[in-house]
């Protein structure tokens, strides 16, 4: 348990930051899920639109430190290749 006022404030800040990060991570997962569902359904147009919406969200999460930059790039790249495969 925090004893000093500064430690108590740090605890409050950590709790607030954790809530924000959890919300952002959830938002990114939702965008990715929408792309995945469109790919599973085999709908190229919907998957492409969902990917275009998800890409900036994923990179924004990387910029905020929610996910690593390499992970964000890898996710976008793999989703993009799967969406392109639907077009064929």
Domain boundaries, the chain: 5-87
Kindly report the CATH number that applies to the domain delimited by 5-87: 1.20.58.110
For residues 58 and 64, give the distance between their C-alpha atoms in angstroms, rounded to a whole number: 10
Tell me: pLDDT of 88 over 90. Answer: no
Helix ranges restricted to H, the chain: 5-41, 44-64, 69-87
Q: What is the pLDDT of residues 14-69, one digit of tens each?
A: 999 999 999 999 999 999 999 999 999 999 999 999 999 999 999 999 999 999 99
What pLDDT band is residue 11 in, cutting at 50, 70 and 90?
Answer: very high
């Amino acid at each position: 348990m925090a004893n000093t006022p500064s430690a108590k404030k740090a605890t409050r800040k950590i709790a607030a930051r954790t809530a924000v990060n959890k919300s952002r991570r959830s938002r990114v997962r939702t965008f990715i899920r929408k792309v995945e569902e469109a790919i599973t359904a085999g709908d190229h147009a919907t998957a492409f639109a969902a990917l275009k919406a998800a890409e900036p969200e994923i990179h924004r999460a990387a910029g905020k430190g929610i996910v690593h930059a390499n992970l964000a790039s890898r996710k976008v790249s793999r989703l993009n290749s799967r969406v392109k495969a639907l077009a064929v």
